[in-house]
Amino acid sequence: MTREQILQILRATPNVGKATHEEFADYIVALTQRRRDKDGWQNTEHPYMTVDGKLAMANQDHARQGKRLDFGTPVVLVDNSEQLTLLVSVTSEIYGARHGIATSRRVGGTAAEREFPWEVAETSATGRALSMMGYGLFPGSGLASAEDMLRVSAETQRGGERRAVESERHGVPANARPALNETRSAYARAHPPLSPVQRAKLVELWRNLYGGGELDATEGLDDLFSKNFKHGLNEATYEEGARLTGQLLAELRNKSNAPV
């Protein structure tokens, strides 16, 4: 999906208050979904807005109208060894109250869910609440955010690899196992590179934690990506950036709560 195709969809999507979706095109990623119809399985691409994009759009809309937008403290619905489920309420002086619910799976979830369950669940729940107000709600994409779909993609990719291993174990020839190649291809399409907005946020978090200038932060982040993902900052994906953003946010929260 080209940028112009994405812009055409954004222009056709209704505005929300005083904010247009086209203004926030830099927060959009195009992800592939695999759906089955009468002709079999088909790959289709849809645009998704990241949660930080929905937040930026909602804040801009309310600022232009001089109205309040409040985020409630997350409510824990389930917290056990297997999962953490949070409810987040968003109250708008214009649109009223909405809520979103999201789960981090401590068993069987992505690495980010297992390592930073609170951050993942809170972010996803907030994004869904904002979608309920109309922010980032595109035809055919549903209430999901880019983060939600990337989690689904990661699970799909892992499932495809497991199926391929099982096939090989039972003597099925490699050329009879298209699922792994198809899944890897879908995985690559569904993992866009680190966005400029993410990069700026990571630099900001690093400087808040460790001080220094932008160059110091860039070098520090490059080392951090190399340590975690075996490649530098310039090769980072959106999903990897989201994972390290959660990690740095958790470190910043712990630092803020530490006794003086």
Domain boundary among 145, 174, 189: 189
Other beta carbons within 10 angstroms of residue 39's beta carbon come to: 6
The count of structural domains within the chain is 2
pLDDT at residue 18 greater than cutoff 70: yes
Q: Is residue 128 domain-shared with residue 215, that is, in the same domain?
A: no
| Residues 223 and 119 reside in one and the same domain | no
CA distance 247 to 54: 21
Contact 238, 150 (CB under 8 A): yes
Does 184 share its domain with 200?
Answer: no
Taking 90 as the threshold, does the pLDDT of residue 130 lie above it?
yes
Decide which of 139, 168, 189 is a domain's last residue.
189
Q: Structure tokens of 136?
A: 């980032």
**Average pLDDT taken over every residue of the chain:** 80
What pLDDT, in 10s, does the model give residues 82-129? Answer: 999 999 999 999 999 999 999 998 988 888 888 889 988 999 999 999
Tell whether the model's pLDDT for residue 172 goes beyond 60: no
1 within 8 A of 45, measured Cβ to Cβ: yes
Q: Are residues 34 and 160 located together in one domain of the fold?
A: yes
Give strand pairing partners of 97.
91
The helix/strand/coil state of 100 is strand
User: Are residues 178 and 210 both part of a single domain?
Assistant: no
pLDDT exceeds 90 at position 135: yes
Q: Do 139 and 227 belong together in one domain?
A: no
Tell which phi-psi region holds residue 135, choosing left (phi > 0), alpha (psi between -120 and 50) or beta. Answer: beta
Share of the chain above pLDDT 70, in %: 78
pLDDT bracket for residue 161 (50, 70, 90):
very low
Same domain as 63, residue 148? yes
Q: Which of 167, 189, 211 is the last residue in one of the domains?
A: 189
Q: Where are the alpha helices (DSSP H) in 116-177?
A: 117-132, 146-169
Is residue 62 scored above 90 in pLDDT? yes
Q: What are phi and psi of 121, to 5 degrees?
A: -65, -40
Q: How far apart are CA 33 and CA 152, in angstroms?
A: 10
Q: What angle do CA 105, 141, 191 make, to 5 degrees?
A: 60
Tens of pLDDT, residue by residue over 185-236, are 444 444 567 777 788 889 999 999 999 888 899 999 999 998 888 888 888 8
- Residue-number span of the structural domain to which 221 is assigned: 196-257
